[in-house]
Chain A
Amino acid sequence: MSARYLLRRLLQVVPAVAGIVLLAFVVVHTAPGDPAVALGGEHGDEAYYAFIRARFGLDRPLPEQLVAYATSVLRGDLGQSFVHGRPVAHVVAERLPATLLLMGTALALSSVAGVLLGVFAARRADRPADLAVRTAALLGHAMPSFWLAQLAAITLALGTGLFPVQGITDPRQAWTGWRHALDVLHHLALPALVLAAGELALTTRLTRTGVLEALGTDYTRTARAKGLSERAVVRHALRNALLPVVTVIGGRAGMLFTGAVLVETVFAWPGLGQLMLSSILTRDIPVLLGLFLLVSLAVIVANLLTDLAYAWLDPRVRYD
């Protein structure tokens, strides 16, 4: 990967971030309602509203407001939450670790299991085992994550009692240390498995197609002709087969956040999903805006990392 490619790809982040900030600004400014009334209450007089407009810079021309807004967003200042009375960035940062734990676990589970299943299916192409894996992947891809979560809650949590239905820890126990970690793990199991299922379907499918494609190439024929074991041949094929999988994992950041938010809702997992739900109910717009900006930024960074990983893994990638 050349320094030139790295620089050009890094520079592409600038318009993407600018576009997102502009979009957020436009959406908020086209919304119905007067922000001065929303901030100051319905029974103020004109002078009071004028004071509020001057105080928050709402009386200045739009381009000036946009610049002020963009500057504070870039500084990490996402405004004050209406409900919590604290900076949005703090409110969001508090909930982020739980969501990242859920997403990270799900991504790790789905990537490892997806590659294994994909290779398993590709080596048995068009036989019943392959057909079963493919059918399962199709179903997994079509199921809404919140439905799978509800079914898991009904059967595995409420039905068998093996898993907790809600939360991240058992409120009746004040465990610390490894007991606490085990408790979190116990609560994490179902939401993570449910969230992983949707991603698993896609990874499996892509790995299977990639391995099959690679197994048809000349270099695998050469590897076979050399008398390599089937295992070694698949290992050769896997290197190239996994390239699309890497791309897709990065490109799915937005969908993974969406899935996490929905799964969190079912299991009352105290992450961004819960925060979003309560902010919708209380119409805490600054928090919802902050969540939109955060997820957008995550998508932009994930895309960047994916492209860099791709260029690093595949020397054929040249930027022009």
Chain B
Amino acid sequence: MPGWIRAFATTKPRVTGGAVGIALTLALVIVAVFAGVIAPVDPFASVAPPLTAPSRSHTLGTDDLGRDVLAGIVHGARTSLLVVLSVTLLASTIGVSIGAVAGYRAGGIDDLLMRLTELVQVVPRFFLAVLVIALFGPGLDRLVLVLGLTSWPAVARVVRAETLSLARREFVEAAHALGSPAVRVLARHVLPNALPAAVVVVSVNAGTIILMEAGLGFIGLGDPHAISWGYLANNAQRFLRVAWWMALFPGAAIALAVLGLNLLGDGLNELLDPRARRVAGL
């Protein structure tokens, strides 16, 4: 076994995993932000003969209409990131608010909110999104809305659990005793301490949302005006026999983006939760 493999294999996996996660996630953001610079070609423009295999001028080949696959992937990163960021923002806002109120108020309101959380948790997001897009027509706005309004329960549960235990700590009671209003105590003292746990859930959720957006694009329900990884994979389906590159590269981009977010989540989890560090999970 060569030295570098041994070195890699014996490094603490969580350090390697977390670093790879940060690198992949950063790469996704950079590619999405600088899409126009990295691939100046219009992803919808026909720039070469159709179905040309990867070559020097078209690194990842072209599709059935002569569109550059690399340009499609680079610009598709934009769509993926936009969707995942908006959904995450919406779901986190709802999840943190509901979780904080439920955990802080306890009692009847807590019961009610947790029932609501359980109800939303059983909703099959993918099938609801299919129904909504079939009824309302394709578009990124409704996609974000459907996924955002159904993806908050995991966040709410974690924030509630944290808030529940934090609300009984001495420093919170001290703030109360000093006469701070409840909203201020919650915002200044409880939430900042509950957020790390929520961040872990959010980053793992983000991977699932990328997969779901890609899946919807793959069955032809993506926004026709925004090129997406799912759309590219859908288009590849009819040419599996003749153009392997059309299927291989967009899917690889999805896998790398999801892998990055998952590794980031695992890394954060082990960093923030000493119990998990002991077991050294994946």
A residues near B, CB below 8 A? Answer: 12, 15-16, 19-20, 23-24, 27-28, 31-32, 125-126, 128, 131, 134, 137-139, 141-148, 150-151, 153-154, 158, 165, 205, 208-209, 212-213, 216, 254, 257-258, 261-262, 265-266, 276-277, 279-281, 283, 285, 288-289, 291-292, 295-296, 299-300, 303
Of the candidates B236, B247, B259, the one whose C-beta lies within 8 Å of that of A139 is B259
Q: How far is the CB of B201 from chain A (nearest CB, A)?
A: 15
Contact A292 B122 (CB under 8 A): no
Do A292 and B247 touch across chains, with their CB atoms under 8 A apart? no
B279 adjacent to chain A (CB < 8 Å): yes
Nearest CB to that of B11 among chain A residues? A131
Are B122 and A16 in contact (CB-based, < 8 A)? Answer: yes
A254 to B104, CA, bound (A): 31
A137 and B124 contact, Cβ closer than 8 Å, known pairs A151-B248, A276-B130: no
Q: Given the known A-B contacts A15-B115, A154-B240, A254-B125, are A280 and B251 also in contact in the complex, defined by CB atoms under 8 Å? A: no
Residue of B nearest to A17 (CB): B122
Q: Per-position contact with A for B199-232: 1 when CB-CB < 8 Å, else 0?
A: 0000000010001101100111100000000000
- How many Å lie between the Cα of A60 and that of B221 in the bound state? 33
**Residue in chain A with minimal CB distance to B250:** A147
> Which B residues are CB-close (under 8 A) to A266?
237
Q: Is the CB of B215 within 8 A of A258?
A: yes
Query: Which residues in B have some Cβ–Cβ distance to A below 8 Å?
Result: 9, 13, 17, 115, 118-119, 122-128, 130-132, 134-136, 207, 211-212, 214-215, 218-221, 233, 236-237, 240-241, 244, 247-248, 250-252, 254-256, 258-259, 262-263, 278-282
Which residues of the partner chain A approach B17 to less than 8 Å between Cβ atoms? 138
Alpha-carbon gap, A303 to B121, bound state (A): 11
User: Can you list the 10 inter-chain pairs with the closest CB atoms, starting with the nearest?
Assistant: A147-B251, A142-B259, A31-B135, A254-B124, A142-B258, A19-B119, A258-B126, A150-B247, A295-B124, A209-B281
A32 and B136 form a contact (CB under 8 A): yes
Asked if B259 and A147 make an inter-chain contact with CB atoms under 8 angstroms apart, the answer reads no
Pairs across A and B, CB under 8 Å, 16 listed: A28-B135, A32-B136, A143-B251, A143-B254, A145-B215, A147-B254, A150-B233, A151-B251, A208-B281, A216-B279, A254-B126, A265-B218, A285-B135, A292-B130, A299-B122, A303-B122
* Interface pair B124/A258, CB less than 8 Å apart: yes
- Assess whether B127 is in contact with A291, with CB atoms less than 8 Å apart: yes
Is the Cβ of A147 less than 8 Å from the Cβ of B244? Answer: no
The reply to whether B13 and A131 contact each other, CB–CB distance below 8 Å, is yes
**Which residues of chain B come closer than 8 Å to A145, judged between CB atoms?**
215
Which chain A residues border B218 with CB–CB below 8 Å? 144, 146, 262, 265
Cross-chain contact B247 with A154 (CB below 8 angstroms): yes
Bound CA–CA A208/B279 (angstroms)? 10
Given A205-B281, A300-B122, A292-B127 contact (CB < 8 Å):
yes
A291 and B130 alpha carbons, distance in the complex (Å)? 10
In the complex, what distance in Å separates the CA atom of A23 from the CA atom of B124? 12
Contact B130–A288 (Cβ < 8 Å)? yes
Pair A126/B219 contact, Cβ less than 8 Å: no
Contact present for A296 and B134 (CB under 8 Å): no
Main secondary structure of the interface of A (DSSP, over half): helix
A146 to B255 Cα, complex, angstroms: 11
> In the docked arrangement, what's the CA distance between A288 and B244, Å?
32
CA distance A138 to B263 in the complex (A): 8
- Residues of A near B128 (CB, < 8 A) are 23, 27, 292
Query: Do B233 and A295 have beta carbons less than 8 Å apart?
Result: no
Contacts of A24 in B (CB 8 A): 131
- Other-chain residue from B131, B259, B263, B279 in contact with A209 (beta carbon distance below 8 A): B279
Give the shortest distance, in Å, between A182 (CB) and chain B (any CB): 25
Complex Cα distance A147/B212, Å? 13
Q: Which of A15, A148, A165, A276 contacts B119 (CB 8 A)?
A: A15
In the bound assembly, the distance between CA atoms of A276 and B236 in angstroms comes to 20
With a cutoff of 8 Å between Cβ atoms, the chain B residues found around residue A283 in the complex are: 134
B255 contacts which of A147, A158, A257 (Cβ < 8 Å)? A147
Instruction: Considering the complex, give the chain B residue whose CB is closest to the CB of A302.
Output: B122
Contacts of B240 in A (CB 8 A): 150, 153-154, 158, 165
Complex interface: chain B residues within 8 A of A32 (CB): 135-136
* Contact among B132, B207, B233 with A27 in the assembled complex (CB-CB below 8 Å): B132
Closest to B10 in A: A126
Max chain A C-beta neighbours (<10 A), residue from B9, B126, B244, B254? B126
CB distance from B28 to the nearest CB of A (A): 13
**A251 vs chain B, min Cβ distance (A):** 9
**Residue ID in chain A nearest B126 by CB atoms:** A258
**Distance A174 CA – B245 CA, assembled complex (angstroms):** 36
Q: In the complex, what's the smallest C-beta–C-beta distance from B234 to chain A, in angstroms?
A: 9
* Nearest chain B residue, comparing its CB with the CB of A277: B219
